[in-house]
Structures are given as C-alpha cells and as structure tokens.
Amino acid sequence: MRILVTGGAGFIGSALVRRLIEHSDHEVLVFDKLTYAGVLSSLEPVAASDRYAFVQADICDPDAVAKALKDFRPDVVAHLAAESHVDRSIDGPGAFVQTNLVGTFVMLNQTLGYWRGLPDVEKAAFRFHHISTDEVFGSLGEDGFFTETTPYDPRSPYSASKAGSDHLVRAWGHTYGLPVLVTNCSNNYGPYHFPEKLIPLIIIRALNGEPLPVYGDGSNVRDWLFVDDHARALQAVFETGTPGETYNVGGNAERRNIEVVTAICTILDRLRPRADGKAYADQITFVADRPGHDHRYAIDASKIRNDLGWTPSVTFEQGIEQTIAWYLENKTWWQDILDARYATQRLGVA
Ligand code: NAD
Ligand code: TDX
C-alpha cells in the first residue's frame, strides 16, 4: 500500500513512519510543514529507504495537497498533522483553529476529489484515517472511562479544535461516502517526544539540574500509551478497521502527574545519579495550574482489542524505563532542538 502521512515529522507520525518502513512493505510519503514541532532528524532512521519520501508543505494549502495526492496516489491518508500542545493553544488559539480545523477541511475536500477519480476497486479500498485524541471527551471524575459513544465535551482550545476536526471527518464520511476512520488516543510517550511535553520536559530538566514544574497539586490523571504501541494500533486500524468506525486507543496505564514525575526521578537516580548524591525528586516544584486543566482522562480500549486484536505490548514501567534510557543515549537529538528554533519559544519555568 501507499500511505500518505501528514504530520510525519512529528512525534507520533515519525513513530508510525519508522514502523511502516522497518516492519512492512508499504510505501510512505510524509507531508509535513515542519513547524516548530516537526523534527526531520526523527526520520533519519528511514531516510535512506527507497519506500520513503518527504514533501515540505502545508495541509492548509489546497494546491499542495492536491499535487501530493495526484503524484503519490495513496491507498491511505493517515492524517496526523496538527497543532498538538495544550498550553500553546491557551496562549495562541488561532493556529489551532487554522491547522486543526481549516487544515482538516482542506485535507478532506482535496482527498474527496482525488477519491472520486479513482477506479472502483481502488475507491473501495481507500481509507482516510484521522488521528485524534481522548481530550475531545472532556474530563472524567475519579471513576469511569471514555468509550466510542461518550458525548464530546472539549474544554481547551486544542481539544475543541480536534473535536471540530473529528466532526468534519465523520461528516465527509456520512455525506459524501468518503471511507473514513477515526481513532481517539490517550497520552503518548516514548523516544523522539518533543521536549515541551511533560515526560521529556521532566527528563531533560532533571538532567540539566533545573526545577521540575508540576502544575497544581499534581493530582491530574493521564492514561499513558507507549508511542510504538500507538503506531501498531494505527496500522491495524487502517489495514483492517471498518470504514465509518471510531476506535479508542489507550494504554490502560492511568497515573497521576506527580506519580509520573516521581517515577522518572527514581529511575534517573538509578541510571544517572546526581553528582551531589541527592535525589532528583528534590528538584520537583509545584507551580500555577494550567487554566481549565482537565482532571482525568481514561480510555476503554475494549473495541479495538475485541474487533482488531490490538493490545499494548509494554507496561508503563517498561516503557518509561526505555524512554529514559533513550533520552540518556540520544542527547544530540534533544539538545539540537533546545539550541535551535525551540530555544526562543520555550514554555514552562525559566
Ligand atoms: P506533534 O506536535 O509532535 O507533530 C505535529 C506534526 O504536524 C509536526 O511534524 C508539524 O510540523 C506538523 N504540522 C503542523 N501543522 C502543519 C500544517 N499546517 N501542515 C503540515 N504539517 C503540519 O504532534 P503529535 O504528538 O505527534 O500528534 C500527532 C497527532 O496525534 C495530532 O493530530 C494529535 O492531535 C494526535 N494525538 C496526539 C497525542 C499525544 O499524546 N501526543 C495523543 C492522541 C492524539
Ligand atoms: O510542565 C508541565 N507540568 C505539568 O504538570 C507540563 C508541560 C505538563 N504538566 C501536566 C499537564 C497534564 O496534566 O502534565 C500532564 C501532561 O501534559 P502534556 O504533556 O502537556 O500533555 P496533555 O496536555 O495531557 O496533552 C497530550 O496528550 C493528549 C498531548 O499534548 C495532546 O496532543 C494529546 O492529544
């Protein structure tokens, strides 16, 4: 199959592309604008493959999207390109509306034109797979899980823009018959995670001897999934999922933020003890809470398990250990990001 991956230079997109090149026969075209969050070095492991190609372009540009579709003739569009960071959506929501809503509209409209021109057999096999988040469902109390039928209740500019994009995708499926798939996934973590997100931010700041900012009292809960397991889920969905269906993807690994930060500190104490012999946990600092901070997300992933046979392959304890080891061994990857564009746009505690 030929897979066009929007946002393929991002955290999850690059994990998907590495997986497809290394563990399948599919051909991949990455379509990515290379915003501050796009990191080409995340694709270095596959850059030499003749089944991989890259085009730098904006999903909001209809001509660029149409050209990529016409030239590459994909069987699958895996749409991951988005503005993804909640804190940035609070400071500057415009880019989120533009990329996540308008960009998804452009992707759908151009893909519809391309799909309508395909021969019947290719038309039937084609899939537009939209990659979304569990944040569209809002915030849970101490109990309960998000299922595929949980009503939408987005509460941040980021999640509202993703919720709107999910609705657009389903509308293009219902109204125009485009064979769409939607996945809503919980918090990912793993290698190549951009340094502004909680887990890499804590690892890097710990190693740099900086304060480790925990929002509020650290009691907010996220359901963590190792990124390579998400990539496996995405492949299962676009290869074997039923068009028109939604699949929730989650790690069944709920942790309070303070538990995550403490776990990172404990592992670093063992793998890379502080020079002064003190514990990394001494660097933990409670800071002002995120406005509108959702309390808890938790996914019921029984549908994708029962229908497609997907389950996570690693526990949170295994995944976080692997992730920390990767950051220790790949300082160049993240130091380059800190030194370059991101240095002028860094969020969080100075
Ligand atoms: P990311 O921010 O790491 O990467 C986004 C990528 O999209 C970057 O390479 C960026 O250059 C590209 N991009 C942004 N705007 C673009 C545009 N206008 N045109 C073309 N490319 C553009 O994001 P991520 O964490 O890899 O998330 C990927 C997708 O998965 C997003 O749609 C996100 O909403 C969703 N998601 C993320 C998580 C998570 O935990 N990170 C969980 C569930 C769902
Ligand atoms: O410095 C921090 N301190 C802190 O306590 C940061 C950056 C975050 N946090 C908290 C906020 C959240 O409760 O940690 C949790 C995780 O924060 P993020 O890494 O910013 O992720 P989150 O807001 O949960 O959203 C992520 O998961 C769902 C992705 O960024 C989204 O794109 C995805 O849809």
Q: What is the pLDDT along the chain (350 residues), one digit of tens a residue?
A: 999 999 999 999 999 999 999 999 999 999 999 999 999 999 999 999 999 999 999 999 999 999 999 999 999 999 999 999 999 999 999 999 999 999 999 999 999 999 999 999 999 999 999 999 999 999 999 999 999 999 999 999 999 999 999 999 999 999 999 999 999 999 999 999 999 999 999 999 999 999 999 999 999 999 999 999 999 999 999 999 999 999 999 999 999 999 999 999 999 999 999 999 999 999 999 999 999 999 999 999 999 999 999 999 999 999 999 999 999 999 999 999 999 865 555 544 33
CA of 169 to the centre of ligand 1 (A): 17
CA of 202 to the centre of ligand 2 (A): 11
Q: Report how far apart, in Å, the C-alpha atoms of 77 and of each of 6, 7, 235, 239 are.
A: 8, 11, 12, 12
Range of the domain at 241: 2-190+225-252+295-315
Q: Would 344 be classed as within a structural domain?
A: no
Q: Would 158 be classed as within a structural domain?
A: yes
Residue partners of 231: CB distance under 8 A and separation at least 6: 12, 15, 16, 18, 19
86, 132, 349: residue to mutate for ligand 2 pocket, most atoms within 8 A of CB: 86
Please, what sign has the CA dihedral across residues 13, 261, 305, 131? negative
CA pair distance 338, 340, nearest whole angstrom? 6
Please, what sign has the CA dihedral across residues 156, 158, 161, 167? negative
CA of 302 to the centre of ligand 2 (A): 24
Q: Report how far apart, in Å, the C-alpha atoms of 7 and of each of 104, 265, 284, 323 are.
A: 12, 31, 33, 22
* pLDDT at residue number 340: 82
- 186 three-class SS: coil
* pLDDT at residue number 348: 45
* pLDDT at residue number 350: 33
Q: Would 271 be classed as within a structural domain?
A: no
Residue partners of 347: CB distance under 8 A and separation at least 6: 85, 87, 88, 91, 196
Alpha helix stretches (DSSP H) within the chain: 11-23, 62-72, 86-91, 94-96, 103-116, 120-125, 157-176, 198-207, 227-240, 257-271, 302-308, 316-329, 331-339
CA pair distance 328, 268, nearest whole angstrom? 9
Q: Would 82 be classed as within a structural domain?
A: yes
67, 80, 189, 196: residue to mutate for ligand 1 pocket, most atoms within 8 A of CB: 80
CB-side exposure of 332: number of CA atoms within 13 Å? Answer: 2
Residue from 135, 137, 63 nearest 96 by CA: 135
* pLDDT at residue number 349: 37
Residues with catalytic roles: 134-135, 158
Kindly report the protein residue whose alpha carbon is nearest to atom 14 of ligand 2: 198
Q: Would 277 be classed as within a structural domain?
A: no
CA of 42 to the centre of ligand 2 (A): 21
The token pair at 83 is 């503005």
CA of 296 to the centre of ligand 2 (A): 11
CA pair distance 204, 182, nearest whole angstrom? 33
Instruction: Assess contact for 86 and 64: CB atoms under 8 A.
Output: no
* DSSP for residue 195: T
What does R_g of the chain's alpha carbons equal in angstroms?
20
Domains: count for the chain? 1
| Pocket of ligand 2, beta carbon within 6 A | 84-86, 133, 135, 187, 197-198, 201, 213-215, 220, 222, 257, 290, 348
Q: Would 47 be classed as within a structural domain?
A: yes
* pLDDT at residue number 112: 98
35, 61, 96: residue to mutate for ligand 1 pocket, most atoms within 8 A of CB: 35
Would you say the CB of residue 60 lies under 6 angstroms from ligand 1?
yes
Q: Would 6 be classed as within a structural domain?
A: yes
Q: Report how far apart, in Å, the C-alpha atoms of 21 and of each of 14, 41, 78, 245 are.
A: 10, 15, 15, 26
* pLDDT at residue number 343: 55
- Report the relative pairing of strands 221-226 and 187-189 from DSSP bridges: parallel
Q: What phi and psi, each to the nearest 5 degrees, are found at residue 296?
A: -145, 135
- 111 three-class SS: helix
CATH number at residue 114: 3.40.50.720
Strand-by-strand arrangement of the 254-256 sheet: 187-189, 221-226, 254-256
